[in-house]
Amino acid sequence: MAEHPATTVVRGGAVWTGGPSPRLHERADVLIENGIVASLEPEYRGHADVEIDAEGCLVVPGLVNSHTHAGATPPARGIAEDLDLPEAGAFYHSVVPLLSLLYEHVTREEFLAIMEWDATAMLLGGATTVVEENFGGADIWIELVERLGFRSQLGLTYPGNVTAIGFVQDGKVVRDDPGDVAAGLQRGIRLYDDWHGSFGDRLRVHLSPHASDTVPEEVLRETKRLAGERGLTIHLHLAQHLSETQAIARSRNGQSPVRYLEEIGFLGPDVLATHVTYTDADDWDAFARTGANVVHCPYRKAKEGLTSPFYEYLSRGVNVALATDSFSHDLIEDVRLAAVLGKVREGAVGRPQAEQVLSCATWGAARALGRPDLGRLDPGARGDALVVDLGSPFTFPILHPLRSLVYYSSSAALRHSLVDGRPVVLDGSVVGSDTQEVARRVARACERIWALAATEGALPPGVSLPPSVASPT
């Protein structure tokens, strides 16, 4: 199959261009030629290989889900949502024992179904580009990028064993030996050598050290050096829970994780730091000084009863992207939550505003990835676009299309999405995926892993399985 059709036209929608100078066209046709936006026209009358009807819809640049862990969501969903956090810990610490069993015992066919289910959710949630921080199944993810046609940046997280990043034992967060963390960095470099730029440049590779407290300083320094040599971006979790901030404070004479990374020369425009929740004004200023990028995950942190700083970064000129992280992949919902929870945190209705938040999910993410060809629908950009129906009772009538999308729409209104002008979601369905068959395979795989987790004591205390889940065979 060709990577993209010769000519695609998206007809008759309101078009928000995004980018550094966003404009809203009340009605326009978007012409995409050979994967690139060629023009926005009042009424295109030429030849088209693919025609997309956007009448009554808003057309926006494809969203970038800037931090995910594919494969972790389906088996972990519903396990720990109502459990109190472990002391100084995060939501994910309670599900790591289950995920460890998953990675150890899942078959390749089971994991293919689970990861495809996650990819399906990401695409139906509005993402055309997915930034994957991978703990396992990278070969499967690469297969899905090729087959389903979406765009991805992929990094192998190091340390690569999930129990090394922390899990709950007797109510406390503990960690297993991380092993040779530097070897994980070298695996990431080999992945780059083998796959960067594949599938018509729909797949790129980055470096993915896990966090400031789980990766030794010498490995962080080497990561920075190698990224600079090869022009790669670096992605890590930063200041995401109290045990991280406490560990760095103990080892660095009271420093915060952010100031520690600034001191060793790690922060910079090539770094995407996810969460940065437990931070203060000095940390926010460090991001502004260094040009490092923030990846904001509002839903993921709200599940911990928290709001991460958001407008605090925007007001300092820090570049911010948005992401779902794990457990839910509805990026359109995260756009809304970034807006409304941002207002709650600010105590102000006027900040942040709808266009600012939507820009974070498009142009802000593109800037963070070093991809000025993404996140906008200007001529010369890649032909990645969403078509969102604004005709439902939730959004219609429309006074301001962007506010209708951000505050009142949902992923259920996503009609089509394009990557390089090629449909990856068409009429609300993922092209190339048999959703019903994948769902059946996911259900069987998760029920087997859940039953195994129950027998191995890998479920959190008080979590029980429904009678319909059989014992493992």
Please tell me the predicted confidence (pLDDT) of residue 114.
97
pLDDT (average), residues 288-312: 96
Sequence-distant (6+) residues with CB within 8 A of 269 are: 290, 291, 292, 293
Question: Quick check: is 375 in a domain?
Answer: no
- DSSP secondary structure letters along 193-234: HHHTTHHHHTEEE-BEE-BTTTS-HHHHHHHHHHHHHHT--E
Using CA atoms, how far apart are residues 440 and 425, in angstroms rounded to an integer? 21
Alpha-carbon Rg for the chain, nearest whole angstrom, is 22
Residue 88 structure tokens: 């100084």
Instruction: Let me know the angle formed at the C-alpha of 156 by 155 and 159, rounded to the nearest 5 degrees.
Output: 135
Average pLDDT value for the chain? 95
Please tell me the predicted confidence (pLDDT) of residue 467.
80
Using CA atoms, how far apart are residues 350 and 338, in angstroms rounded to an integer? 13
Question: pTM, whole model, 2 decimals?
Answer: 0.96
Closest CA to 386 of 69, 48, 58: 58
Using CA atoms, how far apart are residues 304 and 258, in angstroms rounded to an integer? 21
Please tell me the predicted confidence (pLDDT) of residue 2.
56
pLDDT (average), residues 226-236: 98
Question: Quick check: is 37 in a domain?
Answer: no
Please tell me the predicted confidence (pLDDT) of residue 471.
52
Beta bridge partners of 394: none
pLDDT band at 469 (very low <50, low <70, confident <90, very high): confident
Rounded to whole angstroms, what are the CA distances from 168 to 79, 96, 102, 383?
14, 8, 17, 45
Strand runs labelled E in 228-348? 234-238, 271-275, 293-296, 320-322
- Residues 116-166 pLDDT 10s: 999 999 999 999 999 999 999 999 999 999 999 999 999 999 999 999 999
Please tell me the predicted confidence (pLDDT) of residue 3.
72
Question: Quick check: is 6 in a domain?
Answer: no
Contact at 8 Å (CB) between 393 and 363? no
- Residue 334 vs residue 169, higher pLDDT: 334
Q: What burial class does residue 309 get, using C-beta atoms within 10 Å of its C-beta: 0-12 exposed, 13-18 middle, 19+ buried?
A: buried
Question: Quick check: is 112 in a domain?
Answer: yes
The pLDDT of residue 442 is above 90: yes
Rounded to whole angstroms, what are the CA distances from 72 to 81, 444, 473?
14, 16, 22
Using CA atoms, how far apart are residues 277 and 235, in angstroms rounded to an integer? 16
Please tell me the predicted confidence (pLDDT) of residue 4.
80
Q: What burial class does residue 351 get, using C-beta atoms within 10 Å of its C-beta: 0-12 exposed, 13-18 middle, 19+ buried?
A: middle
Containing domain of residue 128, as a range? 63-368
Sequence-distant (6+) residues with CB within 8 A of 410 are: 330, 332, 333, 336, 394
The pLDDT of residue 380 is above 60: yes
Please tell me the predicted confidence (pLDDT) of residue 465.
87
Please tell me the predicted confidence (pLDDT) of residue 91.
87
Residue 318 structure tokens: 């820090």
Question: Quick check: is 443 in a domain?
Answer: no
Q: H or E stretch including 270?
A: none
Closest CA to 90 of 360, 336, 291, 278: 278
- Secondary structure (3-state) at 373: coil
Strand runs labelled E in 239-292? 271-275
pLDDT (average), residues 383-395: 96
Using CA atoms, how far apart are residues 129 and 322, in angstroms rounded to an integer? 12
Q: How many CA atoms lie within 13 A of 17 on its CB side?
A: 24
The pLDDT of residue 242 is above 60: yes
Helix 217-230 vs helix 181-195: crossing angle, to nearest 10: 10
| Residue bearing tokens 């100031």 | 259
The pLDDT of residue 229 is above 50: yes
Rounded to whole angstroms, what are the CA distances from 364 to 216, 285, 321, 402?
29, 18, 5, 17
Question: Quick check: is 373 in a domain?
Answer: no
167-169 vs 385-389, strand pairing mode: unpaired
Please tell me the predicted confidence (pLDDT) of residue 472.
47
Task: Give the CATH number of the domain where residue 239 resides.
Answer: 3.20.20.140
Using CA atoms, how far apart are residues 6 and 36, in angstroms rounded to an integer? 10
The pLDDT of residue 230 is above 60: yes
pLDDT (average), residues 286-310: 96
Q: H or E stretch including 346?
A: helix 331-346
Contact at 8 Å (CB) between 469 and 452? no
Question: Quick check: is 38 in a domain?
Answer: no
Q: How many helices (H) and strands (E) does the chain have?
A: 17, 20
Q: What is the DSSP letter of 73?
A: H
Question: Quick check: is 269 in a domain?
Answer: yes
The tally of domains found in the chain comes to: 1
The pLDDT of residue 72 is above 60: yes
Please tell me the predicted confidence (pLDDT) of residue 378.
95
